Amino acid sequence: MKARVTVTLKSGVLDPQGKAIEGALRSLGIKGVASVRQGKVFDIELDGGDPAKAEAVLKQAADKLLANTVIENYKVDVLG
Amino acid sequence: MKARVTVTLKSGVLDPQGKAIEGALRSLGIKGVASVRQGKVFDIELDGGDPAKAEAVLKQAADKLLANTVIENYKVDVLG
Amino acid sequence: MKAAVLVFPGINRERDMARTLRLVSGRAPAMVWHTEGELPAGTDLVVIPGGFSYGDYLRCGAIAARSPVMDAVRRHAAAGGLTLGVCNGFQILCESGLLPGVLMRNQNLRFICREVYLRVERSDTPFTRGYNAGQVIRVPVAHGEGNYIADSETIARLEGEGRVLFRYCAPDGMIDPNWNHNGAINAIAGILNERGNVLGMMPHPENHVEASIGPTDGRGLFAGLVEALARAA
Amino acid sequence: MIPNTPPITPELIAEHGLKPDEYQRILDLIGREPTLTELGIFSAMWNEHCSYKSSKVHLRTLPTKAPWVIQGPGENAGVIDIGDGLACVFKMESHNHPSYIEPYQGAATGVGGILRDVFTMGARPIACLNALSFGAPSHPKTRHLVSGVVAGVGGYGNSFGVPTVGGSVRFHTRYDGNNLVNAMAVGICKKDEIFYAAASGVGMPIVYLGSKTGRDGIHGASMASAEFGEDSEAKRPTVQVGDPFSEKLLLEACLEIMAKDCVIAIQDMGAAGLTCSAVEMGAKGDLGVTLDLDKVPCREERMSAYEMMLSESQERMLMVLKPEKEEEAEAIFRKWGLDFAVVGETTPSLRFVVKHQGEVMADLPIKELGDQAPEYHRPFTDSAKPAVIDAASVEPPHGTIEALEMLLASPDLCSKRWVWEQYDHIILGNTVQRPGGDAAVVRVQDGPKGLAMTADVTPRYCEADPFEGGKQAVAECWRNLTAVGATPLAITDNLNFGNPERPEIMGQFVGAVRGIAEACKALDFPVVSGNVSLYNETNGKAILPTPTIGGVGLIDDFTKSATLAFKCEGEAILLIGGNPSWLGQSMYLREVCGREDGAPPPVDLALEKRNGDCVRALIADGAVSAVHDISDGGLLVAIAEMAMASGIGAVLLEGVAPAHGFWFGEDQARYVVTVPAAQADAVIARVTAAGVPVSRLGTTGGDALSLVGERPVRVSALRERFEGWLPAYMAGGV
Ligand SMILES: Nc1ncnc2c1ncn2[C@@H]1O[C@H](COP(=O)(O)OP(=O)(O)O)[C@@H](O)[C@H]1O
Ligand SMILES: [Mg+2]
């Protein structure tokens, strides 16, 4: 089974990378980008076929490791 | 307008990060994870309201900066 | 001083740290592998050195922070034991919750290795008793993610409780954005935990201790620790 | 999966980079049509990168011996004796094409590869250097390449945990389509604990160690030897990704099992991975090798024998183990979380046999794969000697100080701080002299010995006169080591040139190698390792000939090494080696007059040695307080660098006419030193007695540089220009 965990910065947390990317896009002459925030995705292959169980495992993985919940939010999508 | 660019490693390209995360999940006792591949997301605010134009701008941004197309694929989602 | 230096896969400044501890205290530290469940008996100082534990993959220090040996460090710290995290060690302490906040990418997104100036904010801690309050010391940094960030409440607490021990500054001690190479909030270079026994800092005092190699401003930190531990004993 | 016995068409042969006569040679050797796997193996073994087929006959002319040389070229790295039972292991290697295609990963894996070469021999790496050549700053790709390459070099070395202590960076339009990334690594081991590649003993287990095999860089080695065309974008998927974390584990694991005496032979998997490493181990030990590919740890599914044999996945090693130590070795590797698999054994047959899924995919004569590689005496034409330019005929500057300011803010002469600050240059706590001086100095263990190291070449000289340019590269390297007080011991060379099938390029190569050989002989400075990178051209436009020379020298007491910064006010500044006047091919000519022409400064090796030996003796006796050699930009640039490094100015006496020849001439074998005023006469007398020309240049002091008849310029203003150019350029502001 496949799943994706998406980790994004909480709003209000400064994102130097996103800021730098904004600047870089501007200097590349790419117009119309107001702001950029960078996050991470984890594409995960799981053993077994129970989506509910998969979701539980991934929540645990995200809480314990994949996200730093002090500054990050996460979202789990089991894709089946 | 909001959009998301998701950048993932091409299949076959070594992902040292994913490998390290797999190992860490295992040693945390989280079971059932067969493999992890790490990617990036960029949450982008755009000026203007034309989705087609937004998509074109973001493709350009991804090609030129956000993705390293030698080893990465990307996907643009204009969320409106 | 009975120091223990933790070794995680990918840590790479453990030799620098061990040499410095040996030079300053006259005693070689124990090197403790990340899978250990206990620290050597009698350990009075735990040091988490710099490097790239687990390649700094995922987030700096994230994977190391969840190693078995960190439970032993938590117990050591909870019992009041002195704990020092330098660079990756600081990142690991933040990720493990022993210190608040996060170290983000440097403002310019580049790894930076250079000498910086630090203002020592207090001298009444075991880590800084070798310095005077307000003293400016010169030590190197070598990191890509040293940009300290925490929510405003946490920052207010850190400042209010005098828990910021080191700040990046100009050579004359003034706080100046031009001398804050990584963009850390309030130019924070090192912080204490609430109890005052856990210090995390980005710069590498251990690389400035030998006159034949360069400046020796880092020595005060280790000499101070030796003294503090001798007094406590 | 690809079938192993497809029809071997001329197209398939050409795709493998083999010429028709080379294919015929294969047929003659094995007496039948090769399988696909065999064709891949031949193409990997016989391409330029692995076989040195165009360069070998010339490389043999390089001097490689000296009493202190333990291992010359032919192993993973060269080894020299540095006393106290210690040996220094070092080598330089290019990763040019990969770094152009994917700058970060290309540069990173270049560093990873050279580090592996050093620790494969049992040495713990103590320092890295890098020599980088980029296209013109105005070229649209340059900034991106600089940014990626520097981040990649740093990214790998910083994480691996070795200080990057020196190097060089240059810009020239001739590198527009082919930037150069030459990485050097230096390590230390005990003299009697060096490990080699030659297998010994029949029936010994061959063990695969490190990371898993993927489809990375398949045809990477062939790619690295194919001239670029417009379609280079299409070759992208062969780029490898580096994993410095795994390499650090590999280092620790290898050194641990070497210390436990488990290893008979060891070879890293670099270019052409499993193929090259297995063949070399067998052939060097006069043994056959049988590999069972079913045992190879793979990262990807359904990999064919062809792919496994040609994969260039990084962070892998091949080892012949003492059979009784297999378990112990495996436990060590497991502890470090690395793959460990017995994938074959040595045989008495002198055959290289590759099995996969019960089938023999390749069965080739092992010695011939290496020994019978084609060897070419390619035709070459000598470069025409350009005319010598008389300094008096060269346009003088509007003002000497203005010219100095222009030079200090030029891309090649400006400070490279923006680069080396991205490299951890202090880790391990032994960096005595950091980047910014003539050579880096690294303490050996706890001292008092120190090793000095530097990487140098002046490509514009090589272009104008390959022979003199080759000599100059070695001489400058030797001089930089001397200037910090070290005794130069040996070099590694990295010869970057264009397409050797063109006689004028081959002429550059041959000329440069002759020059290097002559200089090495005269300076007692043998070549112990090296690397050749040819076909550095795009659409028929070649790079400047760039034979990078990496040198290592020894200082008995590192605390006595000399630095270039002025030490205090009121000291006498002396010029050792005679008055400069040579403006041909100088930076002055290029940056101020906009001309790149003339003959380069000739190198008189006897003078070089005499002057250098004199300076080294002065340093050893503590007679001089600051030392700097004169190189790019000439005398005034050298003095300005000494001032900027200290913040102390100088008042200079009038130069010898023509003034621009004196201040900006790039004559060789010259040094600037400072001495306490009271000792100046004694030092002058001593130098004169050694037969070396010496004269007074002026006195240190103040915060400005003052020349007779010119407005004084503040050192801080010079520093702003010197430090300003590169950061401004990289910020996009130039
Ligand atoms: N790519 C680089 N990496 C590390 N250090 C560098 C690099 N490029 C230049 N440097 C350092 O900058 C200083 C000046 O370089 P260079 O002008 O080439 O010196 P020299 O003329 O003495 O050979 C040297 O100390 C050199 O090691
Ligand atoms: Mg020099």
Instruction: Read off φ and ψ for residue D366, nearest 5 degrees.
Output: -70, -40
- DSSP for D446-502, written as a single string: TSS-EEEEEEE--HHHHHH-HHHHHHHHHHHHHHHHHHTT-EEEEEEEEEE-S-TTS
Tokens 């050749």 sit at which residue?
D532
Residue whose Cα lies nearest atom 3 of ligand 1: it is D167
Q: pLDDT tens across D384-401, in order? A: 999 999 999 999 999 999
Do the Cβ atoms of C73 and C39 come closer than 8 Å? yes
Chain A neighbours, 3+ Cβ pairs < 8 A? B, C
- Whether B71 sits inside 8 A of D104 (CB atoms) is no
CA D433 to chain centre: 19
Q: Largest Cα–Cα distance in chain A?
A: 48
Stated as kind and residue range, the H or E segment containing D552 is: strand D546-555
C232 to chain D, closest Cα gap in Å: 30
Residue D239, pLDDT above cutoff 80:
no
Instruction: Establish how many alpha carbons lie within 13 A of residue B6's alpha carbon, considering only the half-sphere containing its beta carbon.
Output: 16
Determine the pLDDT at residue D228: 46
Q: Is the pLDDT of residue D90 over 60?
A: yes
Residue with tokens 């091949």: D318
Q: Whose CA is nearest to atom 19 of ligand 1?
A: D438
Contact by Cβ (8 Å): D625, D680: no
For residue A12, what pLDDT is reported?
Answer: 83
In order of B19, D155, D604, the CA distances from D109 in angstroms are 18, 10, 39
What 3-state class would DSSP assign to A28? coil
The 3-state DSSP composition of chain C as helix, strand, coil percent (nearest 5) reads: 30, 25, 45
Cα C33 → chain centroid = 19
Residue range C3-232 forms a domain whose CATH class is alpha beta
Taken as a whole, chain B contains a residue count of 80
Q: What is the pLDDT of residue D226?
A: 47
Q: Indicate yes or no: CB of C113 within 8 angstroms of CB of D422.
A: yes
Reported confidence tier of residue D220, pLDDT bands at 50, 70, 90: very low
Which atom of ligand 1 is found nearest the CA of D132?
A: 1
Question: Per-residue pLDDT averaged across D710-731, rounded?
Answer: 97
Pocket of ligand 1 (CB under 6 A): D 130, 132, 164, 166-169, 416, 419-420, 423, 435-438, 456, 480, 631-632
Q: Find the D630 Cα to ligand 2 centroid distance in Å.
A: 6
Residue whose entry in the numeric block shows the structure tokens 């604990």: D193
D599: number of Cβ within 10 Å:
17
Give the side-chain half-sphere CA count within 13 A for D82.
32
The whole-number pLDDT of residue C144 equals 97
d(CA D143, CA D133): 12
Distance CA C175, CA C184 (A): 12
What percent of chain D has a predicted confidence (pLDDT) above 70?
97
Contact D268, D76 (CB under 8 A): yes
Rounded to two decimals, what is the model's pTM?
0.94
- Compare D232 and D412 and report the one with higher pLDDT: D412
Task: Check: CB of residue D159 under 8 Å from CB of residue C52.
Answer: yes
SS3 A55: helix
Residue environment code for C201-218, b if the CB has 16+ CB neighbours within 10 A, otherwise e? bbbbbbbbbbeebbbebb
Could you read off the pLDDT of D309-361 as tens digits, one per residue?
Answer: 999 898 999 999 999 999 999 999 999 989 899 999 999 999 999 999 999 99
Q: How far apart are CA C172 and CA D283, in angstroms?
A: 65
**H or E, element range at B22:** helix B16-27
What is the rounded CA–CA span in Å between residue A1 and residue A48? 7
Min Cα distance C40 → chain B (Å) is 23
Of all residues in chain A, the percent with pLDDT exceeding 70 is 100
- Cα–Cα distance for residue pair D26/D49, rounded to 1 Å: 18
CATH code of the domain made up of A2-78: 3.30.1280.10
Q: Please provide residue D43's backbone torsions phi and psi, each rounded to the nearest 5 degrees.
A: -65, -35
Given a cut of 80, is residue D236 above it in pLDDT?
no
D153, amino acid identity: V
pLDDT at position D143 is 94
Q: Report the neighbours of C using a cutoff of 3 or more CB pairs below 8 angstroms.
A: A, B, D
D436 in contact with chain C, both atoms CB, cutoff 8 A: no
- Determine the pLDDT at residue D39: 94
Active site amino acids of D: 49, 95
* Chain-chain contact of D243 with B70 (C-beta, under 8 angstroms): no
pLDDT tier at D659, thresholds 50, 70, 90? very high
Going by C-alpha positions, the residue among D678, D701, D702, D675 that lies closest to residue D573 is D675
Neighbours of A76 (CB within 10 A): 19
* Percentage of residues of chain D with pLDDT beyond 90: 88
User: What's the gap in Å between the CA of D428 and the closest CA on chain C?
Assistant: 5
pLDDT at D231: 44
Residue D348's Cβ-count burial label (10 Å; 0-12, 13-18, 19+) is exposed
Helix, strand, coil percentages for chain A (3-state, nearest 5): 35, 35, 30
DSSP per residue over D528-543, as a string? Answer: EEEEEE---EETTEEP
Q: How far apart are CA D279 and CA D277, in angstroms?
A: 6
* D155 close contact with C: CB closer than 8 A: yes
Q: Judge contact between C200 and C85, C-beta under 8 A.
A: yes
Q: What is the mean pLDDT of each run of 10 residues along chain A (80 residues)?
A: 95 86 87 92 92 93 93 92
Q: Does residue D221 surpass a pLDDT of 60? A: no
Instruction: Express each pLDDT in D188-214 by its tens digit.
Output: 999 999 999 999 999 999 999 998 998
Would you mind telling me the total number of residues written for chain C in this entry? 233
All partners of chain D with 3 or more CB pairs under 8 angstroms: B, C
* Inter-chain CB proximity C105 and A12 less than 8 Å: no
Average pLDDT score over residue span D212-226: 64
Question: Which atom of ligand 1 is found nearest the CA of D413?
Answer: 17
Distance from Cα D478 to the centre of ligand 2, integer Å = 10
**Amino acid D148: pLDDT:** 95
Radius of gyration of chain B (CA): 16
Grouping H, G, I as helix, E, B as strand and the rest as coil, residue D162 is: coil
D343: CB partners within 8 A, 6+ apart: D206, D207, D208, D291, D292, D293, D295, D296
User: Which residues, given as ranges, of chain C have pLDDT below 70?
Assistant: none
Neighbours of D514 (CB within 10 A): 17
C172-221: per-residue pLDDT in tens?
A: 999 999 999 999 999 999 999 999 999 999 999 999 999 999 999 999 99
What pLDDT, on the 0 to 100 scale, is given for residue D235?
38
- Side-by-side strand order, sheet with D359-365: D263-268, D316-321, D205-210, D339-347, D288-292, D351-356, D359-365
At residue D218, the pLDDT reads 75
> Can you read off the two tokens belonging to residue D92?
């330089």
Cα-to-centroid distance, C79 and ligand 1 (Å): 50
Q: Which residue has the tokens 């900066």?
A: B65
CA-to-CA separations, D340 to D160, D294, D296, in angstroms, rounded: 21, 14, 9
What tokens appear for D580 in the block? 């400069």
Residue D298 contacts residue D214 (beta carbons within 8 Å): yes
Q: Do D159 and C207 touch (CB under 8 A)?
A: no
The residues that bridge with D94 in the sheet, in sequence order, are D182
Burial of D470 (0-12, 13-18, 19+ CB in 10 A): buried
Residues of chain A found within 8 Å of residue B57, distances taken between Cβ atoms: 30-33
What is residue D234's predicted lDDT score, i.e. its pLDDT? 39
Output the six-digit token pair for D700.
């240190």
Dihedral sign computed on CA atoms, order D205, D208, D214, D217:
negative
Distance D641 CA to ligand 1 centre (A): 12
Q: Are D675 and D623 in contact (CB under 8 A)?
A: yes
The pLDDT value given to residue B17: 93
- D186, β-bridge pairs: D90, D127
Tokens 């202090």, located at residue: D426
Report the residue from C58, C66, C67 with minimal CB separation from B17.
Answer: C58
Chain C residues with CB-CB distance to D337 below 8 A? 9
D133 vs D271, which has greater pLDDT? D133
